[in-house]
Structure 1
């Protein structure tokens, strides 16, 4: 019986959070760019669930997390300082020396 009660409390919590986000956004208490209505977020999530490029990106991210290495990006930047432990970026057009970055071409 306890497991069923926990399930219903969880569902109620999700619905309550959904309703609060929807109401706060629709009432204009928060900018829509900061907190879009929950119904719009859910609609967009369903759309993205059918987008193969998006799903491939999620899969690449999960694989990178599992292997503890940076995810390959189709948008190659000039340096990969963002994934390196150094707090300062290397000079433009050079790869950092963290050992995890690919060599420049």
Structure 2
């Protein structure tokens, strides 16, 4: 059940980093507008960095989601197996009672 705690926190963390990245580029564009400099010259590095960081974040997020999907699937499978074992154990005990 520990996976329930980790999924939201990781999503919030990466969303925050994405927003931080966007704010960084936005502040660069605003400062360029105020000073009258060409945005393409001044902000190309910031924008490229932001695009790379965003791509990395999305890749990490995708890997995390796939990982959690497998974790949840494995958890569900083990839980189902436990329930089946429990039900089969009950069946054998009831059969034992009827035979007597």
Same fold (TM over 0.5): no
> 1 or 2 for the larger relative contact order (CA 8 Å, sep ≥6)?
2
- Structure number with larger C-alpha Rg: 2
Q: Which has the higher helix share?
A: 2
Q: TM-score, normalised by structure 1?
A: 0.31
Q: TM-score, normalised by structure 2?
A: 0.32
